[in-house]
Amino acid sequence: MGSMTESRVLYLMRHATAESWGVLGDRNRPLTPAGRDEAAWVGTQLAESGVEYVVVSSAARTRQTVSSLGLMVDVEPNDRLYGAGSGTILDIARELDPVITTALIVGHSPGIPTLVHLLAEEDSDPEALALVSTHFPTATCCRLEFEGPWADLTGARLTRTIRTHLPR
């Protein structure tokens, strides 16, 4: 087992671009082709990230985002993430298995952006913070680092913001 001051990394990601509301209803909205490309690009950025485990909302667009990332890790669909506020998402992060040191949670706005802002401490990377200060577009993924167990997560250093730069 690691020491009590083991560093942990939490990636928080908003799903990629989805189709607008249609007959399928919100939960079943699929990604657009551009959304799949966005997620695939973010996946290339996460390839060396060490993500060991993914928790994903049960919505079609979040599950498709995770598939498009191409990470070969265990994925847990969690119905609580669908429409979750920042408090629920934080609870889910705090419940992660202690053996996991790097995890990714893929959910929705406004819960994901709100949690990034709540967790990001003053020693966060200014550039990473600036990228999400006013806008948190689809497929944005933030890397947060903190010391100690998941259960004690209350704040973290935002060290990187991954945003797609694909042509629209």
pLDDT score of 1 more than 50: no
The whole-number pLDDT of residue 5 equals 67
Beta carbons of 12 and 132 less than 8 angstroms apart: no
Pick the CATH number of 24-162 from 3.40.190.150, 3.20.20.100, 3.40.50.1240, 3.20.20.10: 3.40.50.1240
Q: Which of 167, 157, 156, 162 is nearest to 131 (CA)?
A: 162
Of 18-22, 91-95, 164-168, which gets the smallest average pLDDT?
A: 164-168
- pLDDT tens digit sequence for 100-153: 999 999 999 999 999 999 999 999 999 999 999 988 999 999 999 999 999 999
What would the mean pLDDT of 28-57 be, rounded to a whole number? 96
> Across the chain, what does the average pLDDT equal?
93
- Residue 29 CA to residue 6 CA, distance in Å, equals 39
**Pairing of the two strands 53-57 and 74-78:** parallel
**Pairing of the two strands 53-57 and 7-14:** unpaired
pLDDT score of 25 more than 90: no
pLDDT score of 160 more than 90: yes
The whole-number pLDDT of residue 168 equals 47
pLDDT score of 15 more than 50: yes
Residue linked to tokens 């993430």: 81
Distances (CA, A) of 147 to 12, 42, 108, 134: 17, 25, 26, 27
Percent of the chain whose pLDDT exceeds 70 = 95
Give the confidence band of 4 by pLDDT, cuts at 50, 70, 90. low
What would the mean pLDDT of 153-167 be, rounded to a whole number? 88
Structure-model confidence comparison of residues 42 and 20, the more confident one: 42
